[in-house]
Structure 1
Amino acid sequence: MRFDLKTSVVKTREKRLGTIIGWRTGKASELSKDSAFTCAGCKGNGGKKLCEAVGPFTQGSTCSEQMVECQAGNVRDAVLIQHSPIGCGAGQVSYNSIYRNGLAIRNLPIENIKIINTNMKETDTVFGALDKLEQSIRDAWDRHHPKAIFVGTSCAAGIIGEDIDSITTKMQEELKIPIIPIPCEGFMSKHWSTGFDATQHGILRQIVNKHPKKQEDLVNVINLWGSDVFTPILKELGLRVNYAVDLARVEDLEKLSEAAATVTFCHTLSSYIAAVLEEQFGVPEVKAPQPYGIAGTDAWIRELAKVTHREEKAEAYIEREHQRIAPKLGELRTLLKGKKGYVATGSAYAHGLIAVLKELGIQVDGSLVFHHDPVYDNNDESKDSLAFLVKHYDDVPNFSVSNKQQYQFYGLLKKVKPDFILIRHNGLAPLASRMGIPAAPLGDEHHAVGYQGILNLGETILEILAHKKFHEDLSKHVKLPYTKWWLEQTDPYILEKQNYAVGKE
């Protein structure tokens, strides 16, 4: 088997998939072609590496531990313990807000996240802090009586080699609930998406039912906090939704192995858990494009229907939806004709959003993705979201990979001059605004999913374009925090030139 659930440590994305976090601007088709060559016939990332642009510094990013915080920390009847200095817990503030908002839009009882920090201090890095971890697990049990406890590691815990497995094993025997070690220190991987895999690995090891009783109408939907758009879609096929990981209960996670299939809104998020569920628990992953735009949604629904034996219902639903959205879609295309958009999000999600923009008749001359996976865990061509985008919606001439580096983002936007940008990680939005470009921060990641998602996104774009004059006025009265030399550069990757082509023999 390709996936080892006997160890608590998941293989990083760069080792499994050949993930890169930098690629100098070129056509999307060029990156797709290089990726196909890289992974053709390989096992994991056993082919040649993509040429990766490596800069001399990182202006800002995210780490794997934060992704564990936003995944394991969002299981409703569980507790996450961060075995870390208190600074690593700063994200609890923003993730609590996101968690509460997610519960609200799903009409679930609103509550605060349950995350405990062990507050490792300087002396703990010398003498160890396993006693603090054990006490924190007891505190978690006494305060919340959770159905499971996750333990995530920090850079500090990883550097001193804390043996969290021994403590979690001991406490699991005592408390009789799953206590799950999740090694996820920030330096573990160069891209934060490994944190998704680390959480999912722990769930697959210690929570998922190992002797499932299959439910032929249950479908796993791997997601974050978005609105419940999948229930009405799957209901048309006579299917029920099992959301994971965020906002799920431990009971829902146990049922992952009982489902008839696994789907997602984003291949980046679901790659690991879907592949393992198929390989080791017999739950087929729906190998199809993501459900964005008409072509992607058609293919996604047809493949799900094929796996669950509901082809007739699928065709009837597709026909009804095509007819329903046609008048409004035509109106939106007229209103948005001539507009230029830019997408700056995670990898596979960006591919889906670009498809929707092109469905709306919007010109997309450029896009920034925060990383690139040449292949996903199942190594199936049908899930090549970048190739699907190029094939069905034409090329993107200025396609870039950069790990949320603001200093590069300025040059990328300056070259393309879009009318607006789509973004999920809002830290880049203020820079665009100071350049006179409005942004649509897609806090609800399901906003553009499916047939209705095309209309949703079109209406959102019209709303932000109505405020474009404000951003243009703002740009005339602010100063960007860069030197005159940098502002005059035409190549955002000029600092990477000396280090370019890492991995090229």
Structure 2
Amino acid sequence: MGKINLRLTEVQNRERRLGTIIAWNGTASDLHTQSGYQQRGSGCKSNKDGCRLCEAKGPFTQGSVCSEQMVECQAGNVRDAVLIQHSPIGCGAGQVPYNSIYRNGLAMRGHKVENIRIINTNLQETDMVFGALGKLKQSIDDAWERYSPKAIFIGTSCPTGIIGEDIESVARKKQEELGIPVIPLFCEGFRSKHWSTGFDATQHGILRQIVKKSTKKQEDLVNVISLWGSDIFTPMFKELNLRVNYVVDMASVSDLEQLSEAAATVGFCYTLSSYMAAALEQEFGVPEVKAPMPYGFAGTDAWLRELGKVTHREELVEQYIAKEHARVKPKIAELKKKLQGLKGYVATGSAYAHGLIQVLRELDIQVDGSLVFHHDPVYDSGDAREDSLGHLIEHYGEVPSFNVSNRQQYQFYGLLQEVKPDFILIRHNGLAPLASKLGIPAAPLGDEHIAIGYEGIVNLGEAILDILAHKKFHDDLKKHAKLPYKQWWLEQKDPYILAKHPELIDA
């Protein structure tokens, strides 16, 4: 893999850096073979053609989100910082749900509950003609006066990218004036075809301007790159005499500053953690725990053992593994009886989906299909131990209908018809209502930590039982709901037919 370059103010998007795609259909093993993880991890030096991954490009996009929104839910969730969205007010619509998520996240982590601190510059038509750097400067001053933040993030938008606003120079001058980091995050919606580049943009800015170069190390501190989920890592790490430094969401600026002092970095999902973890190792000497993600017995065992190796706690790890196996296996045996004969479906982000499928198969739940919102053929470290799709296939078997689609409802209908699951696991809930209209209950995984580790197998099994208890509601909804599609599409067997034959739209 190429080196991460923190000297640049703009992060390289995932398409160029990793080869990310947003549309594909086939089997999990076909996708893994075509991805060529190990070859990509070595920089694709041996065979250029092997670096190409075909993409089923459709003629239109029905609905998705953008990189700017991911900056909103990351930089906007740093507790003692402010995010300024240099954008029209419409780009700030996400502040409403993100404020709810932020408040809930603070409560789950035991922090003081407060509102999110995001300011929008409210660009108008005249600003698109004459520029709006004056509004940006005023917004920075307002943020400083109202909140006295320890850092200010500036998120770009499609309009500021179009008119070429010189945000970087404003940030540099205001940083000198205020004496705090003022960090431009380049996240225009058109910068990348998938929103996950927004995670990288936030992390890039933090790594460049907040993380301190330090020779001081805290041998018991572990960076956990996560979103806003419940605190499952603190009790787990306590058994290993380790402490948690949660980043980026719900972190303080001082938590971010000490990223360089940790003994190791881990994540619950390589989609989220790949960039920051690799950069921390490359630039600050903090080792990334390179292992399968902590889902199911195989993944959690390997993840803990690698963490123990990096932090020199091998004996404590083995004791913890033995104790947890003995504790959860009887519970899992009982859950298997109750879940017998069920068929599940996973519709989430890429690496997270791989982990959830592993947990479902630990519960003996049949998984014939999955929809991932994008696919990274390789992660930033390039290490084969982080090949999450390969780990899924090796330890838990094939997924016959494994599809990539960035939340396209019209395709989701056909994919569900193909495998006919009893329930779905989903994040980004825009797809859940469609499943409900088909009589399929969904578990919206608002707490993304629900399935992590040994207890996560139990948690997910119990969550599935909870949603299946409401199956009759979804059956009733199916009887009375009308789908917004014409009959020819409802009868269509190939959800990707428009990608293969876009001329059908005009037929």
Given the two structures, how large is their TM-score scaled by the length of structure 2? 0.97
Q: Flag the 1:499–1:238 CA change in 2: closer, same or farther, 3 A.
A: farther
Map 1:91-490 onto structure 2 (within 5 A): 91-490=94-493
Instruction: Give, in angstroms, the shift of residue 499 of structure 1.
Output: 7.0
CA distance in 1, matches of 2:292, 2:502: 34
> Which range is displaced more, 238-247 or 29-38?
29-38
- Residue 5 of structure 1 is matched in structure 2 by 6
- Per-residue deviation, residues 102-135 of structure 1 (Å, max 9, x unmatched): 1111121100000000111111111110011001
Instruction: Give, in angstroms, the shift of residue 225 of structure 1.
Output: 0.2
Quick check: 2:42–2:382 contact (8 Å CA) kept in 1?
no
- Residue 24 of structure 2 is matched in structure 1 by 23
Q: How many percent identity over aligned positions?
A: 73
- Residue 503 of structure 1 is matched in structure 2 by none
- Structure 1 runs (4+) greater than 4 angstroms displaced: 43-47
Q: Flag the 1:202–1:308 CA change in 2: closer, same or farther, 3 A.
A: same
Quick check: 1:53–1:499 contact (8 Å CA) kept in 2?
no
SS in 2 for 1:479: coil
Quick check: 2:263–2:311 contact (8 Å CA) kept in 1?
yes
- Residue 51 of structure 1 is matched in structure 2 by 54
Q: Give the letter aligned to residue 351 of structure 2.
A: A
Given the two structures, how large is their TM-score scaled by the length of structure 1? 0.97
CA distance in 2, matches of 1:217, 1:107: 21
CA distance in 2, matches of 1:400, 1:212: 45
Partner of residue 62 from structure 1, selected from 60, 65, 69: 65
Quick check: 1:212–1:255 contact (8 Å CA) kept in 2?
no
Instruction: Give, in angstroms, the shift of residue 2 of structure 1.
Output: 1.2
Instruction: Give, in angstroms, the shift of residue 210 of structure 1.
Output: 1.5
Quick check: 2:41–2:378 contact (8 Å CA) kept in 1?
no
Quick check: 2:84–2:152 contact (8 Å CA) kept in 1?
yes
1:41 aligns with 2:42: yes
CA distance in 1, matches of 2:443, 2:131: 45
CA distance in 1, matches of 2:42, 2:446: 38
1:90 aligns with 2:93: yes
Instruction: Give, in angstroms, the shift of residue 475 of structure 1.
Output: 0.2
- Residue 15 of structure 2 is matched in structure 1 by 14
CA distance in 2, matches of 1:268, 1:468: 32
CA distance in 2, matches of 1:73, 1:474: 37
Q: Give the letter aligned to residue 20 of structure 1.
A: I
Instruction: Give, in angstroms, the shift of residue 212 of structure 1.
Output: 4.1
Instruction: Give, in angstroms, the shift of residue 326 of structure 1.
Output: 1.1
Quick check: 1:54–1:499 contact (8 Å CA) kept in 2?
no
SS in 2 for 1:476: helix
CA distance in 2, matches of 1:42, 1:335: 47
Instruction: Give, in angstroms, the shift of residue 41 of structure 1.
Output: 3.2
- Residue 493 of structure 1 is matched in structure 2 by 496
CA distance in 2, matches of 1:212, 1:28: 43
CA distance in 2, matches of 1:320, 1:99: 34
Instruction: Give, in angstroms, the shift of residue 211 of structure 1.
Output: 2.4
- Per-residue deviation, residues 324-360 of structure 1 (Å, max 9, x unmatched): 0011110001111110000000000000000000000
1:76 aligns with 2:79: yes
Instruction: Give, in angstroms, the shift of residue 3 of structure 1.
Output: 1.5
Instruction: Give, in angstroms, the shift of residue 42 of structure 1.
Output: 2.1
CA distance in 2, matches of 1:222, 1:49: 30
Instruction: Give, in angstroms, the shift of residue 43 of structure 1.
Output: 5.3
- Per-residue deviation, residues 271-314 of structure 1 (Å, max 9, x unmatched): 00000000010000000000000110000000000000000000
Q: Flag the 1:283–1:333 CA change in 2: closer, same or farther, 3 A.
A: same
Quick check: 2:41–2:384 contact (8 Å CA) kept in 1?
no
Q: Flag the 1:498–1:42 CA change in 2: closer, same or farther, 3 A.
A: farther
Cα RMSD over matched residues?
Answer: 1.3
SS in 1 for 2:122: coil
CA distance in 1, matches of 2:167, 2:213: 24
CA distance in 1, matches of 2:212, 2:42: 33
Q: Runs of 5+ in structure 2 lacking a partner? A: none
CA distance in 2, matches of 1:161, 1:227: 40
Quick check: 2:210–2:257 contact (8 Å CA) kept in 1?
yes
SS in 2 for 1:123: helix
CA distance in 2, matches of 1:424, 1:184: 22
Quick check: 2:181–2:210 contact (8 Å CA) kept in 1?
yes
Q: How many residues align?
A: 499
> Which range is displaced more, 142-151 or 206-215?
206-215
